Structure 1
Amino acid sequence: MNVELDETTPVFAIAAAAELAGMHPQTLRQYDRLGLVSPRRTAGRSRRYSMRDVAQLREIARLGGEGVSLEGIRRILELENQVNRLHARVRELESTLADELLNRPGRRVFAAGSEGEVVTLRAGTRVRRSNQLVVWRPLDR
């Protein structure tokens, strides 16, 4: 059986996670109820914590030590998680764009039209420009 472990793999029982985080197991249960850390559950419903969960517990302890309320900590963690998800999405989109550029070099060329609109051109073509001369004469008053 080949099992890959990473920082999100739930491997620690509550006692081990509490010891790693420097907290009491009851504190971890309270944080779970409040939604600050949500460990995965086994088939028997016992909590299993990952290294990411332990790191988050340590961050909660640090912020609490600085005087941040539990609601403030919840909001900070929520925003940090959102930023991490957005960073991952940006990396995914950058990778997709890079792949597309490598697979389709020169497929799309864009130019600005006379009114400022975007004009799509085929590769190797040029925008036709008007070369007419327009004479402006002020109105006689």
Structure 2
Amino acid sequence: MSDQDPPRRTTRTTTRITISDDRGVFMISVAAELAEMHPQTLRMYEQRGLIEPQRSAKGTRLYSQSDVEKLRRIQEMTGDLGLNLAGVERVLELEEQLERATARLQALEQRSSEMRAEMEQEIEAVRRSFRAEIVPYRPQPDILPAPRREPPSGGRRIRIDRD
């Protein structure tokens, strides 16, 4: 390349891959490093049922990003909050129950909204059917005046003025 030639530009292509937070992609050593724990701690947490990593076809533990976040939460509860592992287990159980109850509540609210809409449609259909069947009442002036009756003889007469 001479001094006269323009400098070559190299273009770098970056490929980004999006992976689901629940997909197991980290081996135990990487997951332990990301969670700032010893790999043996992860094995112990798995034994206690606090974490359930996925397994490869050959049986290797594969941790997901969600697993790493859960490990960090466990570490926070034991370190910062002073909970023992039994306390952590209970907190995680209660959180799962809360998630299920929240999901159930949302489903019930959705169904309630759907039923309310159906009910309002039915009510409107009934109203429309009544409007079609009922002849509206319009007061009409008397076409023929009512006949006057004479009181029986010997009776008193009462005068009634009519408009």
TM-score normalised over the length of structure 2: 0.57
* Pair 28,123 (structure 1): closer, same or farther in 2 beyond 3 Å: farther
Bigger proportion of residues as strand: 1
CA distance in 1 between partners of 2:69 and 2:57 (Å): 24
Percent sequence identity is: 40
Aligned length: 110
Consecutive aligned runs of 4 or more in structure 1 exceeding 4 Å deviation: 99-102
Alignment correspondent of 1:11: 25
From 50, 54, 61, the equivalent of 2:64 is 50
Letter in 2 for 1:22: E
For the aligned residue pairs, the C-alpha RMSD in angstroms reads 2.6
CA deviation after TM superposition for structure 1 residue 70, in Å: 0.6
* Pair 107,18 (structure 1): closer, same or farther in 2 beyond 3 Å: same
CA distance in 2 between partners of 1:21 and 1:50 (Å): 12
| Structure 2: tracts of 5 or more residues without a match | 1-16, 131-163
Alignment correspondent of 1:61: 75
CA contact (8 A) 1:106 1:123 kept: no
Q: Are 1:35 and 2:49 matched, yes or no?
A: yes
TM-score normalised over the length of structure 1: 0.65
Q: Is 82-91 or 69-78 further displaced after alignment?
A: 82-91
CA deviation after TM superposition for structure 1 residue 52, in Å: 1.4
- Structure with max Cα Rg: 2
